[in-house]
Structure 1
Amino acid sequence: MTRTETRRPPYTAPARRTAGTRALWLLIGLLLLAAVMAASLAFGSRDVGWSDVWSALGGADASLEQAAVTKRVPRTVLAVVIGAALGLSGCVMQGVTRNPLADPGILGVNMGASLAVVTAVAFFGLSSPTGYVWVAIAGAALSALFVYTVGSLGRGGATPLKLALAGAATSAAFASLVSAVVLPRNDIAGSFRLWQIGGVGGASFDRIGQVLPFLLVGFAVCLLSGRALNSLALGDELAAGLGERVAFVRALAALGAVLLCGAATAVAGPIAFVGLVVPHTCRLLVGVDHRWLLPFSALLGASLLTAADVVGRVVARPSEIDVGILTALIGAPFFIYIVRRQKVRAL
């Protein structure tokens, strides 16, 4: 058998899905999200019966169980919102760069936002929660620009593997810088654990409200980019021939993704691999049409992060494992699989 015959076939997009198939997966996705949200309210360091869950949702807080559910409600909402933001931003990044390895964590965007927040607090006295969001978005944008610039150097331009390597190196460097800033400062070291690992513990509706406007704008921009991303998937020349302003569309969609990444990192820290695993899984379920793929990525991202948070609370009782650790355990093998087995060049 010749070398040509043994070579693995190149990456091919999943077959088109019918409207009925997509509707079925939408129903399954909604049921899955409802199930993991219910599990998030019922399970943790203290298990709560369903009667107490319903009572707590109705406003009761007379017992410890009901009080525990009341405390878990904002945590569950935060996990859903952040998971949706990371899943959607990862899908947009893959569409904008036509890079199947794109993910806010892999490309160093999340860690750039984390470094920006830590630096602003440690050296410039930033204390406003709303200021965290602006600084995180700026750090995410600068990090994305830096990684794309580095990945574009040399022959072949910004190939998927070069972007992944540049992003991984940048993320590692930024993580080291975060530790270098935090460790000498005993007065702030404890509060900055979030920006080193990533998690949704300590959530409150006040914190969610501070980042919600940024997230809503990011969601709107990304979801409205679906048709344009379909055109970009055909190649820049063909997209331009179809009437798309390629540079403007790519910049606008990237801005939406950066808004989602920056806001998510500001409130939950650098959670990686959700934006890598979720879009690839959604392509297998609903196909490659971004008008369907983007909302499905948000839905599945919300389910994945919420489920990971529940597992982290259950397996290490009475303590917990931060959700950023669990998503890394899930996503790292998936990343290796894509790089070594799929042999992908572009989407």
Structure 2
Amino acid sequence: MFQPRPTPGRRAPLLWWAAALATLCILIGCSFAVGSASIGLRESLRAVTDFDPSNTEHLLVHELRIPRTFLAMLVGAGLGLAGALMQSLTRNPLAEPGLLGVNSGAAFTVAIAITLGVIQPAVLMLFAFIGAGISAIAVFMLGQRSTRGNDLSRMVLAGAGLSVMLAAATTILIIGGTSQNQTKYASWATGSLQGRGYDVLPTTLVVILIGAVLALGMSRTLDALALGEDSAKALGISTQRSWVLGLLGIVLLSGAATAAAGPISFIGLAAPHAARMLTGIQHHRLLPLSMALGALALLIADILGRVVVIPDEVGAGAMSALIGAPLFILLARRMLKAGS
């Protein structure tokens, strides 16, 4: 079981936030400028400050790259916060939102939508969010024990079993469909932000804001749960209520992120670890920094995905997996050494 150890002397000073803000500003500028059609940094910034609707480069930045950039930040922030919440609730450093079957549930309902002929990104997002929510609720209920509430081992097994079953059903739907449907699903399944615009941005923003308020409001509760369930109960914390609220926050955050951008791995795993190294385990610092680092990580992955195979693109989900897989291996090795 993961027992976070205090890290004396580690803080989240203004220096970290200043560095994160400066990096974010640079990345936003790069995101406006970089793509299959390269636009000078100065011209891309002029598209924001002095928009000219007759300028095709300004239109490209305004209509495509601005919403894509802010959607990447929102999705990354939601996944980073959901991962931190998941790791704190389970006291497991390898926990991430996918354990609840969010990705597989969203993928299955998106496959159904595509099979039915749905092509609008906003409608696909609605289907994905419904699938993510139903899967998470099913995993939570399967992980219940009538006498002692939630059981982490049962929940993980339920999530793994449900994910395998839904993945098989999704494969059957897609393989049995047309080549056009297969192409549409592949575009969503790689975690691509290409073509995601203002139609999905407002909904994603609202849902992730609600999830963030819920998660950030649990900071003191999570500090108490880190001491163990018995200690938390002695402090007057209802562990069952905390699990319900925490899982609701995870579903809102990761469900909206997955619905908007497709399944994206490793952001929810890596961002909380990086934040914990910088700020320690106090959740009023850990949770906001996990959001910030998640936003930075996914924005970097999206920018890199646009340039590695120009004029084509690699989905941000595929790029984040490519970058995050070595990190996951190193983390697992470190845990094995610590346990030996």
Q: TM class by shorter-chain length?
A: 0.7 to 0.9
Q: Equivalents in 1 of 2:160, 2:47: separation in Å? A: 44
Deviation readout 1:154-194 (Å, 9 max, x if unpaired): xxx635xx876765665455334323212322253333224
Q: Equivalents in 2 of 1:238, 1:133: separation in Å? A: 40
**Alignment gaps of 5+ in structure 2:** 146-150
**Cα drift, residue 273 of structure 1:** 1.1
Partner of 1:265: 258
**Cα drift, residue 207 of structure 1:** 1.4
Change (3 A) 1:103 1:335: same
Preserved contact between residue 25 and residue 286 of structure 1 (Cα < 8 Å) = no
Change (3 A) 1:338 1:151: farther
Q: Equivalents in 1 of 2:183, 2:120: separation in Å? A: 18
| 1:181-220 aligned within 5 A | 181-186=173-178, 188-220=181-213
Deviation readout 1:200-242 (Å, 9 max, x if unpaired): 1102112112333222211111111111111111111111111
**More displaced 10-residue stretch of structure 1: 112-121 or 257-266:** 112-121
2:14 aligned with 1:23: yes
Change (3 A) 1:84 1:235: same
Match of 2:31 among 40, 48, 51: 40
Preserved contact between residue 122 and residue 200 of structure 2 (Cα < 8 Å) = no
Preserved contact between residue 274 and residue 305 of structure 1 (Cα < 8 Å) = yes
Partner of 1:140: 132
Q: Equivalents in 2 of 1:343, 1:238: separation in Å? A: 27
TM-score (norm: length of structure 1): 0.84
Change (3 A) 1:151 1:250: closer
Change (3 A) 1:228 1:126: farther
**More displaced 10-residue stretch of structure 1: 202-211 or 335-344:** 335-344
Partner of 2:214: 221
| 1:1-347 aligned within 5 A | 13=5, 15-17=7-9, 19=11, 21-58=12-49, 59-70=51-62, 71-105=64-98, 107-120=100-113, 122=115, 132-133=124-125, 135-147=127-139, 158-159=152-153, 167=159, 170-186=162-178, 188-343=181-336
Deviation readout 1:16-35 (Å, 9 max, x if unpaired): 3455x532211111212222
**Cα drift, residue 126 of structure 1:** 6.6
Preserved contact between residue 6 and residue 280 of structure 2 (Cα < 8 Å) = yes
**More displaced 10-residue stretch of structure 1: 70-79 or 205-214:** 205-214
Helix, strand or coil at the partner of 1:316: coil
Preserved contact between residue 104 and residue 272 of structure 1 (Cα < 8 Å) = no
Q: Equivalents in 2 of 1:17, 1:115: separation in Å? A: 46
Change (3 A) 1:120 1:305: same
Preserved contact between residue 200 and residue 268 of structure 1 (Cα < 8 Å) = yes
Partner of 2:148: none
Q: Equivalents in 2 of 1:283, 1:239: separation in Å? A: 21
**More displaced 10-residue stretch of structure 1: 58-67 or 298-307:** 58-67
Look up the equivalent residue of 2:326 and give its one-letter code: P
**More displaced 10-residue stretch of structure 1: 305-314 or 192-201:** 192-201
Change (3 A) 1:95 1:121: same
**Cα drift, residue 274 of structure 1:** 0.5
Look up the equivalent residue of 2:104 and give its one-letter code: M
Partner of 1:4: none
% of aligned pairs identical?
38
Q: Equivalents in 1 of 2:286, 2:111: separation in Å? A: 34
Change (3 A) 1:344 1:256: farther
Partner of 1:5: none
Helix, strand or coil at the partner of 1:85: helix
Look up the equivalent residue of 2:28 and give its one-letter code: M
Helix, strand or coil at the partner of 1:205: coil
Preserved contact between residue 11 and residue 344 of structure 1 (Cα < 8 Å) = no
Q: Equivalents in 1 of 2:82, 2:338: separation in Å? A: 20
**More displaced 10-residue stretch of structure 1: 174-183 or 82-91:** 174-183
TM-score (norm: length of structure 2): 0.86
